[in-house]
Amino acid sequence: MSTLDQIPLTQLKGVGNKLAETLSKLDIYNLQDLLFHLPFRYEDRTKFIPLQHFRAGMHGLFEAEVVSHRVVYGRRRSLEVIVEGGHSRVTLRFYHFSAAQTRLLGTGALIRCYGEARLGKTGLEFYHPEYKVVNPDEPHEIPDRLTPLYPLTEGIQQGRLRTLTQLAVKWLDRSEVPDLLPASVRNEFQLPELKKALHYLHSPPTDADQEALLNGSHPCQQRLILEELLAHHLSLMKLRTSMRSQAALACPLNLASTQAIDQFLGSLPFSLTSAQQRVQQEIQTDLSQPIPMLRLVQGDVGSGKTVLAALCALQASTAGGQVALMAPTEILAEQHAQNFKRWFADTPLRLAWLSGKTKGKKRQQVLASILNGDVDIIIGTHALFQQDVHYHRLALAIIDEQHRFGVHQRLSLKDKGLNAGIVPHQLIMTATPIPRTLAMSAYADLDTSVIDELPPGRQAIETFALSDARREEMVAKVRSVCESGDQAYWVCTLIEESETLQCQAAEDTATWLSESLLGLTVALVHGRMKAQDKSLVMEAFSAGRIDVLVATTVIEVGVDVPDASLIVIENPERLGLAQLHQLRGRVGRGNKKSYCALMYHPPLSENGKERLKVMRESSDGFIIAEKDLELRGPGEVLGTKQTGLIDFKIADLQRDQGWLETVKQIAPLISQPEAIIQRWVGQSQKYAEV
């Protein structure tokens, strides 16, 4: 007997290639897919509701007789049909209607209707209800189960999809659909068997708990939700296992590396916080193994992630491996390059720089030195992992400030160690804390370390919001801050998603500010500038030779200038919370009292107000990340590119996060992980072959 996932849709009566093609847009390719395409709502069409029982907001089925109908010419033309049932009258209103329809709904016609009652011009009204003119002598033919409503796509209607699904349900009875959840798990959580759950969800009895069905808490749904979350988890674990089954360069803590590390630590003007020490140890242990490290380091803005990067780079290069350190922007990569150059000045380590802007002969030279093993630590942007970059012996890849570094990108790193027959250790350091639910689902294949402590002496950043009508006041504030010896950022954020416009706005602002702030040095940095010009400006700002830096979001992550104590952010209402938190984190990096001005453009939407309020009230990246998730959803927080990871059919991360812990625990009990992955992640499993 073939299993349902082997039976193509065209086996169903009336499904040809064209319809099959339409259904593929819903990711439905076979009978199993059809059965796992679940209703989002149900309607009770099993009994008639007397008209007088309807209240606004109620859905239901009723029978009534047409009393009169007319076309009304208001702001919009509509067909108004007055019907009577029992002793009540209500109005059916149609904004789209045909002459035939008007005729059919003539006085005296008996109609059967399903719709939602609303309060309209004439009292209770039904807008565009589904209806049928019936013959009073014919027997009533009404369903005895709730009617499911499915997500649709263009080219298929509700009724058609419902019929197809019912056909698939019939196949369900005579086929083998293995229940992939162990009975022990089902029993523990009192979840129904798979077949039963599917039956139930496609045609629930009339006494079903509709509220539970609507909010996804019905045991039949929960059973499937658990299975789906499990499927995603298992697919990430599969990825992890396959990665970890390969060899990495073991970088032991021996005399040489310990000495190098101690020397480096001794040269720092501070000692590590205990959180940094703990995370450092976790990384060290990983690195000393001959198995690739897969570690995510989460730490709030300013928690001191860069020194940890340096420490593990030191350990790996002392063991004779190459290290690649990637930052998301050129400015940040450049800053790292400067820091590393200074930190490693007294070591034999050789540093190299590579960005997308490294071109021509210079690029050839750098590529050759990477390939020949003439350099130890290579710092740069995404360019580091492009196809034409071949490493001599890549032992460790550090991805800084990049929580959107998804599965595909992680996978692409695997090949970068090929020359030496190793898979590089991976250290991913997040730009902002990731909400726990996302970390547990989208990054289940990584081990996590958390730096849950800021270096001593940091003061909370005072955050306030003001309308951009008060721009002049801000200028005065900038002046007073700079005259007291501090520095300020003035950030021009997105204008219509266009980088060119953003840069233009920054240029205009810089001109205007330098006129308004005579006596102070105002400079500009944006993405369209030459790399060299950018780094000159950043260096000057860093060295205190510039008072006010007007910038686009190029300074969003990582930039570290401890003397800056004021940041003005324009149009904060357009940015996500995590992004605002990151921008704000450019100040408050030393021991100075710092300020963040959110200069919005009124009027603010409700959501915009809410977001600015969160920023004013919280400085904790973990709380802000949770809020961000709540207000914007996982797709935005994780980046659209990664949504494939969290694109669930039935589960909802926010709603169903309670399962994540269980998922982790029961994953090892699953005897056929591959089957669950195939069932749920199936066609969309773009990262299947590893």
Residue 604: CB minimum distance to ligand ADP, A: 29
Residue 558: CB minimum distance to Mg ion, A: 4
CA torsion sign for 311, 312, 316, 322 is negative
What is the C-alpha to C-alpha distance for residues 414 and 407, in angstroms, rounded to an integer?
A: 11
Helix, coil or strand: residue 274: helix
Q: Which of ligand ADP, Mg ion, none does residue 307 bind (CB under 5 to 8 Å by kind)?
A: ligand ADP
- For ligand ADP, the binding residues in 178-237 under the rule CB under 6 A are none
What is the C-alpha to C-alpha distance for residues 666 and 686, in angstroms, rounded to an integer?
A: 24
Residue 585: CB minimum distance to Mg ion, A: 9
Residue nearest to ligand ADP (CB): 304
Tokens 């439905």 -> residue: 28
Which x/- pattern, by CB under 6 A, does the window 425-464 give for ligand ADP? ------------------------------x---------
Nearest to 566 by CA among 627, 476, 499, 437: 476
Tell which phi-psi region holds residue 360, choosing left (phi > 0), alpha (psi between -120 and 50) or beta. left
What is the C-alpha to C-alpha distance for residues 431 and 378, in angstroms, rounded to an integer?
A: 20
Which amino acid, one-letter code, is at 357?
A: K
- Which residue, 493 or 582, is less far from Mg ion as judged by CB? 582
First-last CA distance in the chain = 31
What is the C-alpha to C-alpha distance for residues 386 and 79, in angstroms, rounded to an integer?
A: 63
Cross-strand pairs, 467: 600
Single out the residue of 562, 576, 633, 682 in contact with ligand ADP (rule: CB under 6 A): 562
Q: Does 328 bind ligand ADP (CB under 6 A)?
A: no
- For Mg ion, the binding residues in 328-387 under the rule CB under 5 A are none
Single out the residue of 558, 585, 588, 634 in contact with Mg ion (rule: CB under 5 A): 558
- Which residue, 560 or 652, is less far from ligand ADP as judged by CB? 560
- Which residue, 95 or 270, is less far from Mg ion as judged by CB? 270
Residue 618: CB minimum distance to ligand ADP, A: 17
Which x/- pattern, by CB under 6 A, does the window 290-309 give for ligand ADP? ---------x-xxxxxxx--
117 in Cβ contact with 50 (< 8 Å):
no
- Which residue, 628 or 656, is less far from ligand ADP as judged by CB? 628
- Single out the segment in contact with ligand ADP by CB under 6 A; choices: 102-110, 269-277, 418-426, 599-607: 269-277
Single out the residue of 273, 277, 409, 521 in contact with ligand ADP (rule: CB under 6 A): 273
- Which residue, 42 or 344, is less far from Mg ion as judged by CB? 344
The site for Mg ion, by CB under 5 A, has a size of 2
Whether the bond between 603 and the residue before it is cis, its omega within 30 degrees of 0, is yes
Single out the residue of 272, 399, 569, 645 in contact with ligand ADP (rule: CB under 6 A): 272
Tokens matching residue 559: 């930039």
E strand intervals along 251-335:
294-299, 322-326
- Single out the segment in contact with Mg ion by CB under 5 A; choices: 123-131, 202-210, 558-566, 593-601: 558-566
- Which residue, 299 or 424, is less far from ligand ADP as judged by CB? 299
Encode burial over 119-132: b for 16+ CB neighbours within 10 A, e otherwise: eeeeebbbeebebe
- Which residue, 23 or 308, is less far from ligand ADP as judged by CB? 308
The phi and psi torsions of 358 (rounded to 5 degrees) equal -75, 115
Q: In 181-329, which ranges are continuous DSSP H helix?
A: 183-188, 194-202, 210-215, 219-244, 255-267, 274-287, 306-318
**Which residues make up the interface to ligand ADP (CB under 6 A)?**
270, 272-273, 276, 299, 301-307, 455, 558, 560, 562, 589
